[in-house]
Amino acid sequence: MAKWLIVAVLFVVSALNYGDRSAITALFPLLRQDLGLTDVGLGLIGSFFLWSYAFSSPLSGYLGDRFDRGKLVVYSLAAWSLVTLLTGLVTAQWQLFALRTMLGVTESLFLPAAVALAASYHGPETRATAVGMISLGTFAGLISGGTLAGYLGALYGWRAPLLALGAGGMLLAPLCYFLLPRQTPSTKEEEDARPPFLTTAASLVRVPSYLVMLAAGLLPSIGSWIFINWLPLYFQENFHMSLARAGFYGSSLIPIGSAISQVVGGPISDFIARRGVHYRMLMQACLILCAAPALLTFVLTQNQNLIIGAIVVYAMCRSCGDLNILPLLYDLVGKSKASTAYGIANMMNTIAGGLGVFVAGWVKADFGLAGVFAVVAGILAFDALLLFICYAFFLRKDLAAAR
């Protein structure tokens, strides 16, 4: 029962984590008016967050393998909530960019420690389900964060939702401190025997399947962060929605599709893994390949309902496929390196995502957001090809070596 209580707490914290990072996208029109931000400036809001998150993630992951994971989750929650609250008080663009950078640093501590904490309490028969529930929290946060920000922003201005989210997280942190278990090395000898970060990282990048899994997370992240950052503005500009409605559609469609896939996909992935954990990668490759064609809808039609349906289909297939990454990663690298491996993967994902968000803002005027979204289809198709090659030639050999 305790292992599911851990998942429940991490679900709530994960929801706030993604709510805080994504709420600001629903406020872009207000920020553009109040702080004079251009499209490139709006893109940099996401890029500064993602790049600082990226470069902090390897160290954050390593800390998750060296120190108490439960405490790291709580400290990260308290720190990013304070940053979110302070963001609601900025008066200049440089202050906003600086605090978004700090948000990336403080939030980077959470996911590697949280995922490794949950995975260590769950065996292969429930691991994907547990990770899926934590991921479900991220999608709940995307929906509620964007919707709340759009609603409160329309009524009280862009500062109100950031102040509310920040204060809520700071109140939640002490409760989580008492609910999450302590995880420290059992002996000083075990702690001293753990290799330094560079040694651990070097051992990971020598595994071909791990390198492919880095790419398998990196490539879809480009599209994911472009959608998170720009979809609310797309709905407002193309369908002339109100700020609250655009915030809801822009921040809820992908999380809704993804949430459905997390509920269904976790048990399916665990069921498939009983025949062999390598089948998780085959499932991922097939689903990513199915997600790609849906994004061509952006350039083939201007029908709002068809575009909404295509976004949900894309989200369901991509998210259900990506659900297999973390459980497979745990089997591939082992418990002692799981958090570090995930931290490096986070770095690669967010570097690519930050670059994608920035480039989308740069080329938006020439190609439109619809054209930018459609390009993601080609990225997904290439990602699926890499996974099929890895499954055929490397994965089973690397899993055997890990065992």
CA distance 285 to 271: 17
Considering the chain, what percentage of its residues have pLDDT values greater than 70?
97
3-class SS of residue 25:
helix
Beta-carbon contacts of 400 under 8 Å, excluding residues fewer than 6 positions away, are: none
374-381 average pLDDT score: 85
CA distance 211 to 226: 23
CATH placement of domain 2-180+194-402: 1.20.1250.20
CA distance 234 to 370: 8
Q: What angle do CA 395, 287, 122 make, to 5 degrees?
A: 60
| Three-class DSSP labels, 304-317 | HHHHHHHHHHHHHH
* CB 124 within 8 Å of CB 267: no
311, 314, 336, 341: which is closest to 326 by C-alpha? 341
Q: What angle do CA 242, 248, 249 make, to 5 degrees?
A: 90
Q: How many helices (H) and strands (E) does the chain have?
A: 18, 0
Range in 85-94, 214-223, 244-253 the model is least confident about: 244-253
> Which pLDDT score is estimated for 346?
78
138-150 pLDDT, tens per residue?
878 877 887 888 8
Residue owning tokens 């190609």: 367
The number of residues making up the chain comes to 403
93-102 average pLDDT score: 92
What are the tokens at 201? 């990282």
Residue 90 identity (one-letter amino acid): V
Number of C-alpha atoms within 13 angstroms, CB side, residue 165? 37
DSSP 8-state code for residue 185: -
* CB 169 within 8 Å of CB 78: yes
Is it the case that residue 189 has pLDDT exceeding 80? Answer: no
Tally Cβ neighbours within 10 Å of residue 33. 10
Give Rg (Cα) of the chain: 20
48-74 pLDDT, tens per residue?
888 888 888 888 888 888 888 889 999
35-56 average pLDDT score: 83
Is it the case that residue 354 has pLDDT exceeding 80? Answer: no
Is it the case that residue 371 has pLDDT exceeding 80? Answer: no
Residue 240 identity (one-letter amino acid): H
127-183 pLDDT, tens per residue?
888 888 888 888 788 778 878 888 888 888 889 999 999 999 999 999 998 888 876
What are the tokens at 147? 């919707």
CA distance 357 to 3: 37
> Which pLDDT score is estimated for 187?
41
- Domain boundaries of the chain, sorted by first residue: 2-180+194-402
Q: Longest C-alpha distance within the chain, in Å?
A: 63
